[in-house]
Homo-oligomer: A and B are copies of this chain.
């Protein structure tokens, strides 16, 4: 960004770290618990950091949610609709009161911690295309090849994720890890990414990052692909063994995609190369999503 752009930007005074937006994504929950025990870890001179457990009831039950997916409850109209009374709909309104409201949030930056059973490494999910968020994502992805940047932003479509309460922020999506469990190596690396994010914000507030640029590659959401199913909607196949775990790898026309239970291979038959992500994410079976196809954009080498 140019200096004039930078001068127009506001300082980040309040940061919120959210874990357990999905109750069975333990990495975020136990990192938040750690930070609550050792608040000096997330303390920086130029801003305040608070923490929040997104869905405490679902965490107690070791489930993604109680009634409905909390991370789809942040549409502005839903937050204003007093008739919605599922646990997560009520909880979303509470969270919006604490961190939001959308467009005029009490916190300047939300870091939402998620985990996945897919082999997503350490994915930074963009909340919007604000230059600050893009630059932070570029910086974090420069630290490790397993840190990648994913954008599910669809022009003209409202973002209904928790992280959308604030203009600055991102989600960190880590995997592969089974729901309701922890992996030491992932826990440590996620924590390191959080520290890198907070340090980055500190430097930004102190005007130290104005001339820095980093390479940036963004994987842009194209569409979802469902599993093979019968007319009743029941599964008839699974991710092909040759595709399992190959998130962020090229999928080319003619490559195996699914294996049906009776042993038939289903191939990827479209014309363009794509880069699938969230392959075989457990929580997406019920959403009709076997994977998300993305297009790889090298923004800066």
Nearest to A30 among chain B residues (CB) is B261
Would A262 and B179 be within 8 Å (CB), given that A184-B238, A239-B184 are in contact? Answer: no
Q: Kindly identify which residue among B178, B188, B241 contacts A241, using a CB–CB cutoff of 8 Å.
A: B188
Q: How far is the CA of A73 from the CA of B165 in the complex (A)?
A: 47
Please provide the chain A residues from 29 to 43 with a CB less than 8 Å away from any CB of chain B in the complex: 30, 33-34, 37-38
Would A238 and B183 be within 8 Å (CB), given that A62-B286, A261-B34 are in contact? Answer: yes
A240 and B184 contact, CB distance less than 8 A? yes
Q: How far is the CA of A239 from the CA of B178 in the complex (A)?
A: 14
A179 and B239 contact, CB distance less than 8 A? no
In the complex, per-residue mask of A215-253: 1 if CB is within 8 Å of any chain B CB, else 0: 000000000000000000011001111001000000000
Nearest to A27 among chain B residues (CB) is B238
The complex is assembled from copies of this chain, and their number is 2
In the complex, what residues of B have CB within 8 A of residue A285's CB?
Answer: 62, 180-181
A280 at the interface (CB under 8 A from B): yes
A183 smallest CB distance to B (angstroms): 6
A291 smallest CB distance to B (angstroms): 13
Consensus secondary structure, chain A interface: loop
A289 at the interface (CB under 8 A from B): no
Task: Other than A184-B239, A187-B259, give 12 A-B pairs with Cβ distance below 8 A.
Answer: A30-B238, A62-B286, A176-B178, A178-B282, A179-B180, A180-B285, A182-B235, A182-B280, A183-B241, A184-B244, A187-B261, A188-B259
A-B contact pairs, 21 of them (CB 8 A): A33-B234, A33-B261, A34-B261, A37-B262, A62-B285, A117-B178, A176-B178, A179-B179, A180-B282, A180-B285, A182-B238, A182-B239, A182-B280, A183-B238, A183-B244, A184-B240, A184-B259, A185-B241, A185-B244, A187-B238, A188-B259
